[in-house]
Amino acid sequence: MKKSFTFSSVIAAATVLVQVSCTPTPMDLTKANIIPKPVSVVQAGESFKLTGRTNIYVQGESAELIQIGQFLADKLNPPTGLGLEVKSTDKAPRSGNILLVISEADPELGDEGYELVITPKLITLTAGKPAGLFYGVQTIRQLLPAKIELDSLQEGPWEIASGTIRDYPLYVYRGAMRDVARHFFGVEDIKIFIDQLAYYKMNVLHLHLSDDQGWRVEIKSWPNLTAHGGKTQVGGGEGGFYTQEQYSDIVKYAAERYVTVIPEIDMPGHTNAALASYPELNISGVATELYSGTEVGFSTLATDKEITYKFIDDVVSELAALTPGPYFHIGGDESHVTKIEDYIPFVNRVQDIVLAHGKKVLGWDEIALATLKPDATVQYWARAENALKGVAQGAKVLMSPSKYAYIDMQYDSTSIYGLHWAAYIEVDDAYNWDPATLVPGIGRENIIGIEAPLWAETISNRQEAEYLLFPRLQGYAEIGWTPAGLRNWDEYKVRLASHGERMKAQKISFYPSTKVDW
Ligand code: NGO
């Protein structure tokens, strides 16, 4: 017993030595595998080392900056064991520390950009706004070895190559959608996803909160929506819903990570869960049965009944009050059983309700068939001519073309989850397109950004969701952040491969596509 213990300790010690001696000190910052790729990286040929004396200094007493510093400390301390502390200061700290500074002297950085200057003595992270500091912190994480993502104590050293990174996003909207209606995903799953979005500098989480198969957020004035309409999901499972308190908890958790939550209540189609819960919302006046299949386009609210608009006003009012973000998503897709002469006035009236509750309208591209209100945004998913109708009305476009950006599409015919009605989307297909040149007539100036929707007909838990999300989410993050001229698949796939270790350390169940040399 003792002998074998000694023997295995020798092996373990030797392994550590081999690992340590195999990890050369990083000296070339341009070799760092950062996703999304920064706007500019200049190397300086030396390196900075985290030690037991390293602390994180934030300039001034702002609670928000201290929180960002603490976020970094909480990521670095478990694996390094270095016990970094967050301190406020009004002067440059001593050698060996990290400094976070807000300065408006560099307008090019905008609301989300940052500059990271790394010397052997100091890491100085500067931004015009806190969001930029938060993104600089994500870059610092990615500059350290992959094992920084583990939450147990790891062997150092913890070194970063010296140089300067200047970085800011191409688009203001870099999002993903979670369909929690077809299958319900609980608060913990959504929080993990928010952290994954933030890690890749994405800033919007669109929640598809209602559909034929389920209503997933408590509305106090219409309690049967969740009491009855939340009770099932695709395949007939038990479904579920967020209480308003839980929804607010998600919104707050997201805001602390600079992610804006956009609630979607899909209407007038995709409404069976509501129609099953309240007979008065039906044209027939009779409640439908709950639905757990995957057909689309068979349900509609009664667009000519006053009670329908009272219902929508109550729902928008309650959700808008819980949602600090600027948008309310009204769905509007695939209303195949709503006559077009009913659909148009319906969408017009619902837009007024949204505006009356202080939110801007977002909707799937079909809403451009109606008269769009000022500041409405059209989410292009299916028909370019709809998106163009939106542009002709002065609306902005959110790019989610199903052939490129639907993250619920299968990778290829062997994929175990996902659909393929729009396309098979391999990891390179997901990356190799440019939102600003995809549709003639829709250019950079018309586009607010990109969003990857994860529809959930075929996935029912976190692992299944991650199989579809990763490793494509990184590509969408880079399309949203990095200037198109700096993007190139052959170079990107090398960076993505290095994120395999990071995803493993973060316990992400990614699909190991053969397009990438992991
Ligand atoms: C469509 C449809 C959804 C489906 C999804 C599946 C839109 C906007 N409406 O996208 O209901 O879940 O495809 O890929």
pLDDT of residue 9: 47
Exposed/middle/buried for 164, CB within 10 Å: 0-12, 13-18, 19+? middle
The DSSP result for 318-375, as a single string, is: HHHHH--SSEEEEE----TTS-HHHHHHHHHHHHHHHHHTT-EEEEEGGGGGS-PPTT
* Tens-digit pLDDT profile for residues 484-503: 999 999 999 999 999 999 99
Residue 329, pLDDT > 50, answer yes
The residue nearest atom 6 of ligand 1, judged by CA position, is 455
Residue 3, pLDDT > 80, answer no
Exposed/middle/buried for 378, CB within 10 Å: 0-12, 13-18, 19+? buried
Supply φ then ψ for residue 506, to 5 degrees: -85, 5
Atom of ligand 1 nearest to the CA of 408: 14
pLDDT of residue 1: 33
* Tens-digit pLDDT profile for residues 127-161: 999 999 999 999 999 999 999 999 999 999 999 99
Residue 332, pLDDT > 50, answer yes
Residue 7, pLDDT > 70, answer no
* Tens-digit pLDDT profile for residues 429-478: 999 999 999 999 999 999 999 999 999 999 999 999 999 999 999 999 99
Please, what sign has the CA dihedral across residues 428, 432, 433, 434?
positive
The residue nearest atom 4 of ligand 1, judged by CA position, is 455
Q: Is 334 in the pocket of ligand 1 (CB under 6 A)?
A: yes
Atom of ligand 1 nearest to the CA of 379: 8
Q: What is the pTM of this model?
A: 0.95
The CB density around residue 105, as the number of other CB atoms within 10 Å, is: 7
Helix or strand holding residue 494 (H, E): helix 489-505
Share the mean pLDDT of the chain: 95
Report the separation in Å between the CA atom of 455 and the middle of ligand 1, taken as the mean of its atom positions: 7
Report the separation in Å between the CA atom of 182 and the middle of ligand 1, taken as the mean of its atom positions: 11
d(CA 357, CA 493): 44
Residue 372, pLDDT > 60, answer yes
d(CA 11, CA 496): 32
Q: Is 406 in the pocket of ligand 1 (CB under 6 A)?
A: yes
| Token couple for 283 | 């044209």
pLDDT of residue 144: 98
Please give the single-letter amino acid code of residue 166.
R
Residue 13, pLDDT > 70, answer no
Atom of ligand 1 nearest to the CA of 179: 12
Alpha carbon distance, N-terminus to C-terminus of the chain: 38
Atom of ligand 1 nearest to the CA of 331: 8
pLDDT of residue 30: 97
* Tens-digit pLDDT profile for residues 298-323: 999 999 999 999 999 999 999 999 99
List helix spans (H) across 144-269: 187-199, 224-227, 244-255
8 pLDDT tier (thresholds 50, 70, 90): very low
Residue 228 gets which letter from DSSP? T
CA distances, 8 to each of 2, 14, 206 (Å): 10, 10, 50
Mutate to test the pocket of ligand 1, among 330, 334, 364, 365 (most ligand atoms within 8 A of CB): 334
Mutate to test the pocket of ligand 1, among 455, 459, 468 (most ligand atoms within 8 A of CB): 455
- Average pLDDT, integer, range 46-55: 98
Report the separation in Å between the CA atom of 118 and the middle of ligand 1, taken as the mean of its atom positions: 45
Residue 4, pLDDT > 70, answer no
CA distances, 76 to each of 54, 73, 454 (Å): 11, 5, 31
* Tens-digit pLDDT profile for residues 264-275: 999 999 999 999
Active-site position among 280, 334, 464, 501: 334
Q: Is 455 in the pocket of ligand 1 (CB under 6 A)?
A: yes
Contact at 8 Å (CB) between 41 and 163? yes
Q: Is 242 in the pocket of ligand 1 (CB under 6 A)?
A: no
Atom of ligand 1 nearest to the CA of 406: 14
Report the separation in Å between the CA atom of 140 and the middle of ligand 1, taken as the mean of its atom positions: 37
What percent of the chain shows pLDDT beyond 70? Answer: 96
The residue nearest atom 12 of ligand 1, judged by CA position, is 455
What percent of the chain shows pLDDT beyond 90? Answer: 95
Report the separation in Å between the CA atom of 459 and the middle of ligand 1, taken as the mean of its atom positions: 14
pLDDT of residue 22: 58
Q: Is 57 in the pocket of ligand 1 (CB under 6 A)?
A: no
Supply φ then ψ for residue 249, to 5 degrees: -65, -40
Q: Is 365 in the pocket of ligand 1 (CB under 6 A)?
A: no
Report the separation in Å between the CA atom of 275 and the middle of ligand 1, taken as the mean of its atom positions: 19
pLDDT of residue 2: 36
Please, what sign has the CA dihedral across residues 96, 98, 102, 104?
positive
Where residue 237 falls (left for φ over 0; alpha for ψ -120 to 50; beta otherwise) is beta
- Average pLDDT, integer, range 237-251: 98
pLDDT of residue 60: 87
**Is 334 designated active site?**
yes
| Token couple for 22 | 């195999």
CA distances, 413 to each of 185, 299, 427, 473 (Å): 26, 31, 14, 20
Q: Is 408 in the pocket of ligand 1 (CB under 6 A)?
A: yes
